Amino acid sequence: MLKTIGGGVCAAKGFSANGIHCGIRKNRLKRDLTMVFSSERAACAAVYTTNLVQGAPLKVTRAHLADGYAQAVICNSGNANTCNADGIQIAEKMSALAAEALGIRTEDVVVASTGVIGEPLDLTPIAAGIPDLAAGLTADGNVRAAEGIMTTDTIVKEAAVTFDIDGHTCRLGGIAKGSGMIHPNMATMLVFITTDVNISPEMLQKALSSDVRGTFNMVSVDGDTSTNDMVTVLANGLAGNARIEAEGEAFAAFMRALNTVTVALCRMIAGDGEGATRLLECRVSGAPDLATARTVAKSVICSSLLKAAMFGADANWGRVLCAIGYSGAQVDVDRVDVSFESAAGTISVCRAGSGVPFSEELAKAILSEKEIGILVGLNAGDAVATAWGCDLTYDYVKINGDYRT
């Protein structure tokens, strides 16, 4: 049985974490350095941004994970360490300092950074902070770790589950950061997931690469793909299950657990979009194939006009059809149905590609809730897909107008 639990990135056996303020960020109340550690060397899988401009930490992490294993994560916020001449050296030194403090190999460290692009990253506060960061690692340090990777995020993003594999109790949990520059094409922002499941690096990579296509790849806040997006999963095997080497019941159980956590993190990221007041969830059904369903759902979520309408609680369903029409998917628009739903109810606004009479008052009430469902029926098959986004508000411009200064 799969059950939601607390603990985030520390929920699984053998994992500890911590987050501190070391001095990268000016605000002393903001943590800016995070560490996650496994007591045992762990299988590790990762996916990275497809942006051609990539942060130095991603390049270093790729090299470190060439053998499919890692034991720790070191991540700073406040500076992306991207487009810097000495970026690789800084990322490598961060890894070496973390490894020294933990007594492990430098190559077993995942390194990540998030924040402003194009500004040199001073290693001095990081070097000074790592000893205390490592010394403060605890099995209940998940929230501190989650806080240490936040930039414009307004809430801590973490999730965890427990489940069974072959009679063994297993746990999987993670933390994420992401609020702006969110339009991934592989994964999203920074996400660190840990599990005590015993699984080979190859199957762990297969699970993660498969999962992100329907989760993190289906999130958009503003249409901008980050230079530092990365998702990693560490699996240390301490649950004691038979090693997962191929597909089967055990792998399927692991995939369900992974998907439960990643969907939860997706919803948190979308709902906490910069300046957002509403989480938008577009659910497409009746598509001829999965690719069509995903293309349509993502197009609707990415429409700036629709996002603005949702901010104003305006049931401007024509913008939904417009987004479907330019999505590139081959859709018979004369068969499309659209409804809006929330805790306040459900209302049909379009049937067979044409508008139907509806109560503007009820629509306003439905669209005034914090979570809005946009239901699209293509009536052309059995495939379904979901995408997540948020409304577009005045505050988004305010936040990004002076993000650097």
Catalytic residues: 188
Looking at residue 24, the DSSP 8-state letter turns out to be S
Tokens 């628009």 map to which residue? Answer: 333
Count of beta carbons in the 10 Å neighbourhood of residue 338: 23
CA 379/CA 129 separation, integer angstroms: 57
Closest to 91 measured CA to CA, from 105, 74, 68, 78: 74
For the chain, what percentages of helix, strand and coil (3-state, to nearest 5) are there?
35, 30, 35
| Rounded-to-integer distance, Cα 295 and Cα 385, Å | 9
CB atoms within 10 A of CB 20: 19
Phi, psi of 352 (to 5 degrees): 50, 40
Which one, of 390, 345, 383, lies nearest residue 364 by Cα? 345
CA–CA dist 231, 372 (Å, integer)? 27
Q: Provide the residue type at 173 as one letter.
A: G
How far the first Cα of the chain sits from its last, in Å, is 49
